[in-house]
Amino acid sequence: MSLMAIKSKAIMQIQLDQNDAEKIGEDLLEYAETLCEALGMDNQKIMKEMTSSDLPHLFRTFNSYFGEYIELLDTDNTVLNK
């Protein structure tokens, strides 16, 4: 008899106020750093990629790496860049 580990994914929703772009960027970078550590991902590579352009790029990059774990919502609960 063999035992298989079952990996479950928890989806968390984060509500962001797009009127405060600087705060959003800082928050997403902090979330990404925490997730990289928890998931064993290359933190330096992902941080460099996330910060290589503007805020929409940061959203897209965050979603490409962490979209299956985190859903980003605007203050009116619409999904951001999904």
pLDDT digit string (tens) for 32-75? 999 999 999 999 999 999 999 998 899 899 999 998 888 877 66
CB 73 within 8 A of CB 14: yes
pTM reported for the whole predicted model:
0.75
Give CA–CA dist 72/28, Å, rounded. Answer: 10
Domain residue ranges of the chain, discontinuous segments joined by +: 14-74
Residue 14 has pLDDT above 80, yes or no: no
Q: Sign (positive/negative) of CA torsion 48, 53, 59, 65?
A: negative
Confidence of residue 10 (pLDDT cuts 50, 70, 90): low
Look-up of token digits 């970078």? 29
